[in-house]
Structure 1
């Protein structure tokens, strides 16, 4: 059976993340990806998790405590556009994940934006190790979502193929704008 974009994003992360790695959850949301990343990097690894909403931090904190993986996570109550200053430049990152759109069951007016997502991607690419991956799951069925999807497509297509491989994964026969997954892998 084909995997949903979310499940496939987890498969792509599990393939490369090792104990002791440093990774990023650029949009912590309800903490599902953050908890997975924390389990994968283990107690010797580090997860930087970003979100601008207090509710996301609370939900993620609870999820991490329930899962027993709170100690290896730095919860940052700030947008992913601050990655450049929040994560030391010399930090080698194995992976990052974004869920672009809005926090489920919250204010749908608070959405990720193309310009801040681009800033985050620029900062992540300079820190990404060889064979590292940046996963973007783009939910675009809301006001502003199409603009962000267009940015991600254009950004990904312009990456030099000598340095990066980019995959897209989507269901093309489903209604209601199913999410599209992008995976950028550094060669």
Structure 2
């Protein structure tokens, strides 16, 4: 009878489990053993094929832990989301919603953008431009005071402690002067109201109310009819052109003639066209003339600015 023999595959006096575990780690490139390595419980922590890195403390003492990217079956590596980003259902990171909206533009730039977007009236655009021209203590003229909104806006721009500024406001309609006075009573104190002088007269005579030697910083025209009044009482192209000529004579260099022309009522477009023809012929050495007009709103008011060099 043949004698039995035994085959030993591990060194004597060694633990067979640890011996074969180390051998499998040596063959970690083999596809068969790679399946065995997927379970970390089969290996001691010291020989784990993908050890976890210890977090490193930051300068402020805080600890930031980011696990190592692990390859996915598709070969795509997942990346941790960036700060302030949003993880979309697709797994991609979107940062569009994390970008704050641009701040509103200051001053006249913001008003112009709102006007372009249809969110501001032409008169408010004019007021915004005035603020870049008029200074405290200036002399200004409201050539068509109407219900007083332009007069009030000008008063707030020129009023100061010196009380040297003046607003000369005029209109041919008595009701317009009364409405302007009433608005001022409810909007400013008596001392401020004294800086406004109201005249019942045609704006062609504006030069008569300005004291000798005083130059005017701004002359404002808001043409058409009185809102809430008689729509048959309107400004006329012939007197408007004469008033613009009168304003040119008393305006200081660096001053502005501001015109809001309304073209939706009878006679309004003719008035605007004559103003446009007149101002387009002014010498560019002395005047900068421009207009703001909505192209697809034919009845919208038109802004005209005449800046004196």
TM-score range, shorter chain: over 0.9
Unaligned runs of 5+ in 1: none
* TM-score (ref. length: structure 2): 0.58
Larger helix proportion, structure 1 or 2? Answer: 1
After TM superposition, give the deviation of residue 87 of structure 1 in Å: 2.5
Match of 2:227 in 1: 104
Match of 2:307 in 1: 185
Secondary structure in 2 aligned to 1:27?
A: coil
C-alpha contact (below 8 Å) 2:158/2:165 kept by paired residues: yes
After TM superposition, give the deviation of residue 92 of structure 1 in Å: 0.2
* Residues 171-182 of structure 1 aligned to structure 2 (within 5 Å): 171-174=294-297, 177-182=299-304
C-alpha distance in 2 between matches for 1:120 and 1:91:
18
* Residues 143-162 of structure 1 aligned to structure 2 (within 5 Å): 143-162=266-285
After TM superposition, give the deviation of residue 156 of structure 1 in Å: 0.9
Match of 1:33 in 2: 150
* Higher RCO, 1 vs 2 (CA within 8 Å, ≥6 residues apart): 1
Aligned residues: 186
Unaligned runs of 5+ in 2: 1-113
Greater gyration radius: 2
After TM superposition, give the deviation of residue 85 of structure 1 in Å: 2.4
C-alpha contact (below 8 Å) 2:126/2:258 kept by paired residues: yes
Change (3 A) 1:5 1:109: same
Say if 2:105 is the partner of 1:22. Answer: no
Secondary structure in 2 aligned to 1:183?
A: strand
Larger strand proportion, structure 1 or 2? Answer: 1
C-alpha distance in 2 between matches for 1:107 and 1:76:
20
Secondary structure in 1 aligned to 2:274?
A: helix
